[in-house]
Amino acid sequence: MCSITAIIPAYNEEQTIGNVLDCVTKVAEITQVIVVSDGSTDRTAEIAGAYDIEVINLVENVGKGGAMKAGIERCNNENVVFLDADLIGLTEKHVKDLIMPVINNETDMTIGIFKNGRIVTDLAQKVTPYLSGQRAVKRTLLDKIPNIDITRYGVEVALTKFVEKNSISSKEIFLEDMTHVTKEEKLGLIKGMQARLKMYWDIVKILNNNDNKEQIK
């Protein structure tokens, strides 16, 4: 049976990282777990370090794309699953539903879509499924995407656009009764909205690069 590496980028997720790791470390197919603390100033790295996993503690915040790249560089499996560190309600079934189609070579990438979690997160992913941070993917596919480390929050869009442009197979997986902590809940209304706008700007830049400049080939 093929194995898979779980990469979890995390920025100040001390409230939820433990629950995510409690689940992920129980999945037999996952033989390597890498948490990338992206310049966290809370106890994220400390909590992750209590588990029998690998923790990469970045001194500066480099953005989600850079954190994912740091994890990819330490990956020793041919399959990778990315999971956000702020998930609520994650179960072993969710993880297996994401990873098995890739491990079994049924598809090159799966994209996890929240369902029946909370209206605010269900609706966001229904409208823009390409923003989902929950996905399993072939390592060889990741190696073909240039500059993934500088895409920041546009990394999921870069993955999705690359798959679409190159006619690579992908499959949406519904993740029942799961949600995540929103930016507004983490940072407060004003700072959360500012962070969300910055994320959307990163995404717009990736879309423009792909559609107009064709930087991903």
Residue 187 host element (H or E): helix 183-187
pLDDT band, residue 160 (cuts 50/70/90): confident
pLDDT band, residue 59 (cuts 50/70/90): very high
- pTM recorded for the entire structure: 0.78
Q: How far apart are CA 180 and CA 85, in angstroms?
A: 9
Q: Is residue 191 part of a domain?
A: no
Q: Is residue 188 part of a domain?
A: no
Short-list 62, 1, 75, CA closest to 34: 75
> For the residues of 117-167, what is the DSSP string, one character each?
S-HHHHHHHHH-GGG-S-EEEEHHHHTTSTTGGG-GGGHHHHHHHHHHHTT
Q: Is residue 154 part of a domain?
A: yes
The half-sphere exposure of 197 on its side-chain side, counting CA atoms within 13 A, is: 6
Residue 49, pLDDT above cutoff 90 = yes
Residue 216, pLDDT above cutoff 50 = no
Q: Is residue 201 part of a domain?
A: no
Q: How many domains does the chain have?
A: 1
Q: Is residue 82 part of a domain?
A: yes
pLDDT band, residue 193 (cuts 50/70/90): low
Short-list 208, 210, 113, CA closest to 170: 113
Q: Is residue 166 part of a domain?
A: yes
- One-letter amino acid identity for 151? T
Mean pLDDT for 181-192 is: 58
* Comparison of pLDDT for 72 and 210, the residue scoring more: 72
CA-based max dimension of the chain: 48
pLDDT for res 169: 92
Residue 116, pLDDT above cutoff 70 = no
Dihedral, CA of residue 37, residue 23, residue 72 and residue 109, to nearest 10: -130
Least confident of 57-66, 72-81, 173-182: 173-182
Residue 215, pLDDT above cutoff 50 = no
Q: Is residue 215 part of a domain?
A: no
Q: How far apart are CA 160 and CA 131, in angstroms?
A: 9
- One-letter amino acid identity for 95? V
> For the residues of 42-109, what is the DSSP string, one character each?
SSHHHHHTTSSSEEEEESS---HHHHHHHHHHT--SSEEEE--TTEES--HHHHHHHHHHHHTTS-SE
Q: Is residue 203 part of a domain?
A: no
Q: How far apart are CA 198 and CA 217, in angstroms?
A: 26
Residue 91: CATH number of its domain: 3.90.550.10
pLDDT for res 202: 56
For the stretch 69-93, pLDDT in tens is 899 999 999 999 999 999 989 999 9
Residue 117, pLDDT above cutoff 50 = no
Q: Give the range of the structural domain holding residue 113, as residue numbers without chain letter.
A: 4-181
pLDDT for res 185: 56
Residue length, the chain? 217
Residue 200 host element (H or E): helix 189-208
Least confident of 27-36, 103-112, 160-169, 191-200: 191-200
